[in-house]
Chains A and B, each alone.
Chain A
């Protein structure tokens, strides 16, 4: 379930966007390629940091764990001749992989559908600008910024059987994170649920960059900003803490 949602979410969103741009194509035909790409990728990126990414992580972390809760297989997994670290780490890295896959597909589908638009509707000058490098960097930064949340949500979903607790907590923290980052609170970078939003803000500030050679704007993206380090730090700490909780925890 989590696997297919990680594939379908980017596919459907990009497809919708493709249809939208195709139908209103004449209205934006005069735009330069750079602006087209910015609108096309930005439509998703705009809500990616504040909504899609955190909720996606809540959902993925939940699904990866709930499959064992539902089938009542935790007790089986922990009675197999496999170390507890392997079970815990394997579960975690599967969730990690799903988030990576989903974001990678967002890049792929954005580029794919953008170029497809340029090909079937040449009046839209998508081919004029190459956004591959920037887009990959942005999504990579988003991925890194989401790891703190992933560790927290993963642990919550492992500990709580039901959907409501991790979902509710995740939702409240996400809204808090958006408010903190949206208000440019000085210490927002310490709060993991603000990180995706902060990563997007960095991009928006970058887009005001001066025009580079050949009149094309250049966007500088600093991947390893301080919130990314915080995100990675929290991801590692919570992962280790989670392992010790699993080690001590009795399986009911």
Chain B
């Protein structure tokens, strides 16, 4: 395990923000740390970085205890926490050079990193004039500068455009598959995590509700078939009579759990045969909120 925490608990005053968290992040994984805003994601990350003092429980990173091996552990971690911390009065290149100096990393890495995040052309521009996406990319370059074994990224795709998100995603996948890195990435977007993560932890109100591989999550997060038809109530009744499970009916839509493409076709044919006009039929991923409900209800 690259990261393992045991019974990690953290209070701000009398409010418990993180409740007996036991994370298991295996080596070579992209671990998606998922949760709505205010779930305790950033607090957990700050605990992992030793920015907040561990109050209860323990944290081991690279199988070393965090408090007593702080510098040794941090030298293997690159991080991006909340908004990237950048000196706005310096250019992007100067920001990287400054960090390279602090970490005693050769200067050539700076050009490499600028290239990697496509900031070479803007390298001499003051970081204060960067767009949000450029700042985010510079933040990622700073995190990667020392070529760390573990990357801890807190919502790294915030403010990025779709192209930027895809680039970051591909970069992270490349780092893990080709360079044997481990990535711990937090997000409130299930869709984003699903596309790259190998492992997922879901946190809500400071509690870990689910932890496992992405395929384990997918069995939990069953997609639904959304059908738009005339007279949805009658159509839904017809399906129930034919042994379909209908989960929800509204004025315009009704929903049936998805099992296969074939089932979707059969369902469509059945409706047509019985004279219901189907306006649209589509497969829908459950959103995070519903998934949370599911997970909390089964728990």
A: residues with CB less than 8 A from B are: 67, 70-73, 75-76, 78-83, 248, 250-251
Contact = CB atoms under 8 A, between A and B. Distances in A.
B69 to A, nearest CB: 11
Contacts of B70: 83
What DSSP secondary structure best describes chain B's contact surface? loop
Contact of A80 (B46, B74, B86, B88): B74
B290 interface: no
B74 A73 contact: no
Given A80-B102, A250-B53, A251-B46, A67 B77 contact: no
Contacts of B103: 80-81
Contact of B87 (A71, A80, A81): A71
A70 to B, nearest CB: 7
Contact of B71 (A70, A71, A75, A81): A81
B83 A79 contact: no
A83 B74 CA distance: 10
B85 interface: yes
Interface in B21-59: 46, 49-53
Contacts of B102: 80, 82
B52 A251 contact: yes
A70 B52 contact: no
Contacts of B81: 75-76, 79
B272 interface: no
A67 B86 CA distance: 10
B79 interface: yes
A73 B127 CA distance: 14
Interface string B80-94: 011101111000000
Contact of B83 (A70, A72, A81, A250): A72
A72 B70 CA distance: 21
23 contacts: A70-B88, A71-B85, A71-B86, A71-B87, A71-B88, A72-B83, A73-B85, A73-B86, A75-B82, A75-B85, A76-B79, A78-B50, A79-B50, A79-B51, A79-B74, A80-B74, A80-B103, A81-B72, A82-B71, A83-B70, A83-B71, A248-B53, A250-B51
